[in-house]
Structure 1
Amino acid sequence: MKHANANEPRSPQFNQSLAKAFDLLELFDAQHSELSLSEIAKFSGLSMGSVQRITHTLEQLGYLVKAPASRKYRLGIRLMTLSANYLEADLLVDCANPYLSELSNSCLETVSLTEPCGLDMIYMARFTSRHYIPIHMPVGSSVPMYCSASGRAFLSALDDTQVHDYLTACELKAHTPNTITNIDTLSELIRECRLRGVAWNDAEYFLGDINIAAPIRNAAGLPVAAVHITTPSSRWTLERALEQLAPLLMECARAITKAARMRS
């Protein structure tokens, strides 16, 4: 997870021990579903003593569990209760779900809602196409702002200075041969997205994956989320998606924005 304010000076009230515990939890992902104490120490840079104390505490609280066979640690299911509590309290997700479902039924493709977190966009809701989709992104997954349609939609609702600040804070990594990593090119692309009211990504994060997205704004006109349609290149081209799906997408984003404002 990339944090937009990672380089800002810490407040005297910042709790380093608590931060270390969360940093340790974030070491676990699909590629590292189970980790030993020595692996946790290696990846985190913490001493073995610190790792032992933190893992013991998290295990006692249910946020880590020890796999019986390997004796390695993995994430505990109790973490799901925190995520569920967040989703239940998120007014935007509740407002968006009916419109996301309607859009997915209309276009017969996968439709998702994402919200910003640092330099990433987090999947908050997802209605999957009945057709084959090559990429599975469950709720809670994250994608970088700079190379995702949803991130670019969010950025397109900011001014140029804010966009530049976000892009310079990102680690502009090429995930595929199509990934745009030049800040000037990205800035120009986001300006074009702003003019069109819709953003896009053509196989820049996953090959064979095309996305178009539109921002959702709060009452002050500031971006708070994005709705996007995911289509495989086996069924769509970017040009056809922008021509045929963008109007439906933009109408969905407007409807969610209006519904959320009425309930806020």
Structure 2
Amino acid sequence: MPTPNDPLFNQSLEKGLAVLRAFNAAHRTLTLGELAELTGMSKGSAQRTVHTLQALGYVGKHPQTRRFQLLPKVIDIGFNYLAAHPLIRVAHPYLSQLAQSSGETASLTEAVETDMVYIAQFLTTQHIPVLTPVGMRIPMYCTSSGRAWLSTLPDAQARSLLGSAPRPARTPNTLTGVNAILDQIAQCRKTGYAINHQELFLGDMGIAAPVVNSSGRAIAAVHLSPPTSRWTLEEAQNRLAPMVIECARAISQSIAD
């Protein structure tokens, strides 16, 4: 976050990025007034910002509705990060093997604030109830990958992160209390893997293990997404958890070499 009176902080760039982030699955197209409201800008400031992004080719208008929408050029920004990421190149063969061995979707996620973001994924050929594409963000508190990542932090730091963001019940199974989530994190430290049983999406589970650096701190997490239509939680823990742990361990060792 910018510090007060930072002479180098560029507010115009901040506004441009805020406009780009305002578009999401719930807001695929937006009017100028909606953009101003979502970003906290005045309508005049939003108009100047959107005009600049439109001139640069990142934002355009829907041909029928004339509402603003993102254009394909915005993909360049995220793709450049992924293309240059050394961890993704290292993890690629291990994730491929994990997906093949398990028959389920294998993913690699990184922490962004109090979320985890998908940076690599190998999809199963079988039916999956939920689409989680690369670039999607999911909350730490109710996901196996988030809990795996938090498991490498001291309790006080994990508690602080959990308490710094809302924890709504995404499904009837979602754990929202900090102490209950910390209990799951403590269990992960014992077993080497974290679980999510229909806490983010109904019909979807998660089995995750942290990818750690030489200091033992998580830099990412590997997880499988077994659906409840094919697996019980007990079966997933018994058969899939060892695969996930081994995959995360292999990636961790590879980046340490």
Shared fold per TM-score greater than 0.5: yes
CA contact (8 A) 1:157 1:222 kept: yes
Q: Does 1:156 align with 2:151?
A: yes
Per-residue CA deviations over 1:24-57 (Å, capped at 9, x if unaligned) read 2111111211111111122222111011000001
Runs (5+) with no aligned partner, structure 2? none
Aligned residues: 256
RMSD of aligned residue pairs (Cα, Å): 1.3
Per-residue CA deviations over 1:186-205 (Å, capped at 9, x if unaligned) read 11111111111100101111
Deviation for aligned residue 1:16: 2.5
Aligned equivalent of 1:124, options 109, 115, 119: 119
**What's the counterpart of residue 256 of structure 1?**
251
- Aligned to 2:184, the other structure's residue is in SS state helix
Distance 2:248 2:5 in 1: 37
Aligned equivalent of 1:103, options 69, 83, 98: 98
CA contact (8 A) 1:174 1:181 kept: yes
Q: Does 1:201 align with 2:196?
A: yes
- Aligned to 1:214, the other structure's residue is in SS state strand
CA contact (8 A) 1:55 1:64 kept: yes
Distance 1:183 1:92 in 2: 31
Distance 1:59 1:118 in 2: 29
Percent identity (aligned) = 45
CA contact (8 A) 1:147 1:204 kept: yes
The one-letter code matched in structure 1 to 2:90 is: C
4+ residue stretches of structure 1 with deviation over 6 A? none
Distance 1:260 1:75 in 2: 36
CA contact (8 A) 1:112 1:127 kept: yes
Aligned equivalent of 2:22, options 22, 27, 33: 27
Aligned equivalent of 2:59, options 57, 64, 70: 64
Deviation for aligned residue 1:74: 0.8
CA contact (8 A) 1:150 1:199 kept: yes
Q: Does 1:113 align with 2:117?
A: no
CA contact (8 A) 1:146 1:170 kept: no
**What's the counterpart of residue 171 of structure 1?**
166
The one-letter code matched in structure 2 to 1:37 is: L
Q: Does 1:147 align with 2:142?
A: yes
Aligned equivalent of 2:131, options 126, 130, 136: 136
- Aligned to 2:29, the other structure's residue is in SS state coil
- Aligned to 1:124, the other structure's residue is in SS state strand
The normalised TM-score by structure 2 is 0.96
- Aligned to 1:26, the other structure's residue is in SS state helix
Aligned equivalent of 1:51, options 36, 46, 53: 46
The one-letter code matched in structure 2 to 1:222 is: R
Distance 2:253 2:4 in 1: 37
The one-letter code matched in structure 2 to 1:133 is: I
After TM superposition, the structure 1 stretch with the greater mean CA deviation from structure 2, 173-182 or 11-20, is: 11-20
Deviation for aligned residue 1:10: 4.2
The one-letter code matched in structure 1 to 2:174 is: T
Deviation for aligned residue 1:79: 1.3
